[in-house]
Structure 1
Amino acid sequence: MTTDLRTLRRDEWDRWYARLELAFGGVAESPQERRLWDDLTELDRSYGVWDGDECVGTAGAFSFRVSVPGGAFVAAAGVTMVSVAATHRRRGILTSMMRRQLDDVRAWGEPLAVLTASEPAIYGRFGYGVGTRQAALTIDSTRVRIDAPAGTDDVRLRFVDAAEAAERCEAVYLRTVGTRPGMLARGAGWERLPLLDAEQDRGGASPLLCVVAERDGETVGFARFHNKPESEFAVARGRIQARDVTALDPAAYAALWRFLCDIDLTETVEARNRPVDDPILSLVSDIRRCGVRVRDSMHVRLVEVGVALEARTYLAPVDVVFEVEDAFCPWNQGRWRLTGDTKGASCERTDDRADLALSVRELGAAYLGDVSLVELAGAGRVRELRQGALAEAAVAFGSTVAPWLPHGF
């Protein structure tokens, strides 16, 4: 088979994106969503694989900066829109795109690549590790109350049109970016993403609703959600589907959740993407009735090990030599000495004896402070070569708050 892997051209986008839609089930997206991704696609960072005139593979990368422990933002390629035609499986197309992409990411000077995976088993062989997780909640709002802190009653809530309030909500969101590792600093146009609201995607729920939280005339939080009316034998059993709940202080946050749990004719509040240490887990009166589930979210790949490890800070002093395995990006292979603390870090090649042995996949999993190196060692994926090195590194790599990716890409 002869195929041509090349950078995407403007006149190829429609065919390229149609192939992506087919790979993900063949259901066409709404015109609103299609326009958004057309506008956001960075053509010079996107690839198509062509078999004659037929597109049989797609991949792209957005230009992001990802917050890391210590508060810095690190340049990262947001890998996206990856697909291979079902007719062209097992022919090396995905591997060829990942090879080209990681070589380019390195040439662009971006030490990280990140992605969200439709199938999480795919990307480990390319050096990606699960770097953030997300919690989903299904709250029984008929039995769960919100134990709100002092000041909650001073917060004013009011309905607003989601589009009209978009600028105020985005301003609140931007003030939270960087408060957790894993959050994205994005370019223009991304503020349109949370407003997507095609009727075909609602599943019988209401159009997008928005409530803002205000104090002294200032917007201090917002909730975007859908209301899905349901009933059984004339008993109302509606569902609130929370898409975004964001606030600048605990009282405003509690006020928004209390509101969502008190809406008439509903008995369930669903939220699909929350931090695994979300304060809502401590606000609810009965966690057992909140149906908490955890899944993978953002997968992280260290493209330049030394640069990436130097870009973050560490919770405790650390001086450790890693023996890194990275067959797919061999420039990372070998020993690296990491020294650092809460003020900064350095990471350089060394010939010193290794203290810990692991692959770049494990470094990606631990990089943002979510997955512990001790956990990975317990799974046999990190080997301790110097006694005490594992505990030292595990503590240092931690984060005071769980990393979180608020939205996909």
Structure 2
Amino acid sequence: MALDHAHPATPAAAAGAGAGAGAEFGSCPGSALPPPAPARSDVEIRTLTEAGIPEWVRAMGAGFLQAPSVSDAELAGRRSGIDPDRALGAYDGDRCVATYRTFDQRLSLPGGGALASSAVTNVTVSATHRRRGLLRRLMTADLAAAKERGYALSTLISAEYPIYGRFGFGPATRSHAWSVDLTRAGFDGRRSGPRDGGRVDLVPLDEIRRIGPELHARFFAGQPGAVSRDDRWWDLETGRITVPSREWKEPFWAAYRTASGELEGLVAYVSDRKWDENKQPGATVTVRHLFTVSPVAERALWEYVCALDWTSRVDSGERAPDSLLPDLFPDPRAARIHLDVDMLWVRILDTVRALEARGYEGEGALVLDVTDGLGLAGGRFLLEAGPRGARCVPTDAAAGLSLDIRELGACYLGDTSPLRLAALGAVREESPGAAATAERLFRTARRPWCPDVF
């Protein structure tokens, strides 16, 4: 059973690019931690060694249905992204039958702060060894180790929804994707450039590796839910590193700069170059990445992409739910949502540190009674928060709101509604108005978004 922390259809997911995770969860009653499966004493969990990387990579590839064996090129492409000290395997004799890996990641929080997270990826259990408690053994051991290392959070991207909620992860962000029919959008693509006096230029890959990280750092600082990108991410997305099991086609990169020359946005895209039987162009342009630090830059890059010659359709790729699309077009109905899905999942490991680290737009005080089936971050806490900061301390005071750690993770970045969870029965009001107070505290004006699969 493949339990990868990445959407299998997304190229970056298959790369294991210095990030990764998969998760499950339901913000609903009945998704509590089930009794442990009987342990198999003949299957050993151990930390990866350098010598064990080829067998571990083979097991991961088999779990993701990539290939039954590993080529030298595949192994070379993956080896640099694996820290053996942060990877676990389950071994039946000498054969690896389950894989699990973590790496250090930073998560952007509401209010402009950030926290280090133990990001989970490359999680598989071989079909021959399912239902033996291997994932439980791997994940419970790793989450305890992550807390011991000092992490307040763990993060992942879930390939399958109903897996990770029982380990305390909650879906904290969502992604949308639009398919834009340019023949109906009413968009005038005849402009020679951005209307604000800025400019859009194509950029070679070596320059992207130079300018991209600094721009992304600025984007990260202002986008709750975004995760850090390491050097390996940029090497994979610009073709410096290739992995055979991950299809890579060189994209076009374009940069938006203001009239004064300041870089404010980048877009990467590919095209299929289709023509119909009457020799009419009908290409689809697919956006791989688009990140900006201003609405002006976002508009300019979408207008550029939608004005490309020979193009009749644009696939937006996964975008923020509050992206300017589709309302940039005279006819917004020309942009059809074809994806609306949970993205980043958050597991809180230290409730006090996590709640004090993020910013709060509303103001109030609330006592939270948090249940944690793994015993890592539960307890009763008084949260006093507002625009000037937050204080969270253990308390014996009467609870206002009772919830599981997975629901707290789902609400953590500000997208999930505590009021809606209360209506669903996933959280319980112990005092009238507590859910409304949580709504005022946790929700954010700007929706969190994680652009990266890892």
Q: TM-score, normalised by structure 2?
A: 0.83
- Contact 2:174–2:321 (Cα < 8 Å) also in 1: yes
Residue 233 of structure 1: aligned partner = 277
CA distance in 2, matches of 1:32, 1:321: 54
- Between 186-195 and 59-68, the greater mean CA deviation after superposition: 186-195
Partner of 2:164: 123
Q: Answer whether contact 2:90 2:96 (CA < 8 A) is retained.
A: yes
Distance 1:217 1:315, change over 3 A: closer
Residue type of the alignment partner of 1:308: A
**Aligned mates of 2:73, 2:220 — CA distance in 1:** 26
Counterpart residue number, 1:9: 49
**Aligned residue number for residue 327 of structure 1:** 373
Letter paired with 2:63:
A
Maintained 8 Å contact 1:147/1:284: no
Compared CA separation, residues 316 and 219, structure 1 to 2 (3 A): closer
Identify if the C-alpha distance between structure 1 residues 136 and 64 changes in structure 2 by more than 3 Å, giving closer, same or farther: same
Match for residue 224 of structure 2 among 169, 177, 181? 181
The equivalent residue for 1:112 is 153
1:279–1:130 Cα change, 3 Å: same
Query: Match for 2:407 among 350, 362, 380?
Result: 362
State the one-letter code of the partner of 1:271. S
Query: Which residue in 2 is equivalent to 1:163?
Result: 206
Distance 2:252 2:70 in 1: 21
Structure 1's consecutive aligned runs of 4 or more residues displaced over 6 angstroms after TM superposition are 28-33, 197-200
Quick check: 2:320–2:449 contact (8 Å CA) kept in 1? yes
Query: What corresponds to 2:304 in structure 1?
Result: 259
What is the deviation of 1:243?
A: 0.6
Contact 1:30 1:200 in 2 (8 A): no
Contact in 1 for aligned 2:154/2:346 (Cα 8 Å)? yes
Is the 2:205–2:253 contact (alpha carbons within 8 Å) kept by the matching residues of 1? yes
Which residue matches 2:387?
Answer: 342
- Return closer, same or farther for 1:376/1:186 CA change in 2, 3 Å cut-off: same
Instruction: Point out where structure 2 has 5 or more consecutive residues left out of the alignment.
Output: 1-39
1:104, distance to aligned residue in structure 2 (A) = 0.5
Instruction: Assess, with a 3 A threshold, how the Cα gap between structure 1 residues 34 and 172 changes in structure 2: closer, same or farther.
Output: farther
> Which piece of structure 1 moves more, 153-162 or 83-92?
153-162
- Checking the alignment, whether the CA contact within 8 Å between 2:284 and 2:312 is kept in structure 1 is yes
Q: Which has the higher strand share?
A: 1
State the match for 1:221 in structure 2.
Answer: 265
Q: What is the identity, as a one-letter code, of the residue corresponding to 1:325?
A: T
Structure 1 distance, partners of 2:78, 2:162, is 25
| Cα-to-partner distance string for 1:215-262 (whole Å, 9 max, x where unaligned) | 344433221110112233233221101011123333332221111111
- Name 2:18's counterpart in structure 1: none
Return 5+ residue gaps in structure 1 as ranges: none
Asked if 1 retains the 8 angstrom alpha-carbon contact of 2:351 and 2:378, the reply is: no
* Farther off after superposition, 285-294 or 300-309: 285-294
Task: Tell me the equivalent position of 2:291.
Answer: 246
Task: Select between 34-43 and 319-328 the one with higher mean Cα deviation.
Answer: 34-43
d(CA) in 2 for partners of 1:276 and 1:32?
38
SS at match of 1:91: coil
Map residues 56-71 of structure 1 onto 2, 5 A cutoff. 56-71=97-112
Report SS of the residue matched to 1:339: strand
Cα 1:106–1:369 shift into 2, 3 Å: same
CA separation of 1:294 and 1:53: change in aligned 2, threshold 3 A: same
What does the per-residue CA deviation read over 1:140-189, in whole Å, with 9 as the maximum and x for residues that have no partner? 122214599x9635222222323343212332222111211111234443
Partner of 1:298: 344
Cα distance change of structure 1 residues 327 and 137 upon mapping to structure 2, 3 Å threshold? same
Identity percentage over the alignment?
Answer: 32
Task: Label 1:146 to 1:62 Cα distance change in 2 as closer, same or farther (>3 A).
Answer: farther
**Does structure 2 retain, via aligned residues, the 8 Å contact 1:152–1:254?**
no
**Aligned partners of 1:146 and 1:257 also within 8 Å:** no
- Verify the 8 A CA contact 1:155 1:251 in the aligned structure 2: no
* Aligned equivalent of 2:16: none
Deviations 1:40-87 (A, max 9, x none): 222211111111110011111110121111211111111111110110
1:87 maps to a residue whose letter is T
Displacement of 1:214 in angstroms is: 2.8
Describe the SS at the equivalent of 1:223.
strand
Q: Secondary structure at the match of 2:414?
A: coil
> Equivalent residue of 2:413, what SS?
coil
Report if the CA contact (8 A) 1:162-1:208 is conserved: no
Question: For residues 209 and 375 of structure 1, what CA distance do their matches in structure 2 show?
Answer: 42
- Answer yes or no: is the 8 Å Cα contact 1:337–1:347 preserved in 2: yes
String of CA shifts for 1:314-367, please: whole Å, max 9, x gaps.
221221111111112x14333211111112212222111111111011000000
Deviation (angstroms), 1:122:
0.7
CA deviations over 1:349-403 (Å, ceiling 9, x no partner): 2111111111011000000001111121121101111111111111110122111
- CA RMSD between the two structures: 2.4
Aligned partners of 2:289 and 2:317 also within 8 Å: no
Instruction: Return the alpha-carbon distance in structure 2 between the equivalents of residues 19 and 354 of structure 1.
Output: 46
